[in-house]
Amino acid sequence: MLVLCVVVAVVAAGVAAVSALVSRQGPDPGPAGGRGVAAAPTPVAPAERAFPDAGTTGVPDGVELIPSGGFAVREDGALIEDLLVVDGAIEVYADDVTIRNVRVTNQEQMLYWGVAQRRGFSGLVVENSEIFGNRESSEKISAGIYNHGGMITVRRVEIHSVTDAIMTSHGLIEDSYLHSPRYFDGDHTDMIQAVGGSREGLPLEIRNNTIINTENQTSAVFLSDEAGGGQQVPVQNVLVEHNLLAGGGYTLYGGGLVADGRDPRDIVIRDNVFSRQVWPDGGYWGPVTYFDPAAPGNEWSGNVWDDGSPMRPG
């Protein structure tokens, strides 16, 4: 009985988090044609929050930020902190860099990303930071964080109003709030996008995040072996655990099907809450696609809808 009470409390908190977001946003100011948020549901007000939101992520209250433009980091082990970066990106050409208490946005410039770890470098940590596109600007930020390199950790970060929140095939994403993309014509909108598995054979862990795509296309979490240029890199060694997931065309793309000639393996989708608060079926078309429960090492367990009922892949 105690276990049931805990599960219901967690699910109720998830419903409230999504309800509050959809209600606060109102209609998407982007292009017409069916894109945007669903009608705002009646918010639920639980006594306790169980998933990250704007109050537990981003730059903490009281931190004074120093205005800055974009810049490159070339010193191993550097600490970058307490900055407001406008119309420029932080480009990391070094190992073991930490970015903390930083806010990145744009006014007049189109940015390919807010933060990028470049190829050949590893160990970047981005924490207690916020990256967002300016919805009053005609220019966009394509990706909040783009990892071209090795391992990366994203922790207690809020990313919103961009095309893709985080692009990486490996690393650790935890305790973060990724939501409310801004759509421009032709965009492929995901909150976490792994286009191709890890070429380096490194793991990808996505745990204890709130991940909400308020658009009706692509996904909240996109795991695909299509690496571009006709190349396929199998999706393997991925953990998606204890997240609140909602929205997109399908909320989750699960790495591919063996019957289609793909080679997914060791993809674990466990103890997540799928919310119907953005679209009635989780995503516009449904909650999950291209997940193969029979692939070697794949696991689907403990996933529920926001009413507590079991959520199983179709």
Q: Is residue 267 part of a domain?
A: yes
Looking at the structure of the chain, the number of domains it has is 1
Residue 42 lies in a domain: no
Question: Residue 230 is part of which domain span?
Answer: 65-305
In a domain, 291, yes or no: yes
In a domain, 51, yes or no: no
Residue whose entry in the numeric block shows the structure tokens 């730059």: 59
Mean pLDDT of the chain: 87
**Is 216 a domain residue?**
yes
233: left (phi over 0), alpha (psi -120 to 50) or beta: beta
Asked whether residue 13 is assigned to any structural domain, the reply reads: no
Comparing 122-136, 222-236, 247-261, 285-299, which segment has the lowest mean pLDDT?
222-236
Q: Which of 100-114, 147-161, 184-198, 293-307 has the lowest mean pLDDT?
A: 184-198
Q: What is the DSSP string of 212-280?
A: EE-SSSSEEEEEESEEETTEE---EEEEEES-EEEESSEEEEES--GGGT---EEEEEES-EE--SSBT
Distance CA 61, CA 119 (A): 34
Determine the straight-line distance between the first and last CA of the chain, rounded to whole angstroms.
29
Burial 241-258 (b: 16+ CB within 10 A, else e): bbbbbbbbbbbbbbbbee
Name beta bridge partners: 127.
100, 155
Q: Which residues pair with 49 in a beta bridge?
A: none
Encode pLDDT of 77-123 as tens digits: 999 999 999 999 999 999 999 999 999 999 999 999 999 999 999 99
In a domain, 261, yes or no: yes
179 domain residue, yes or no: yes
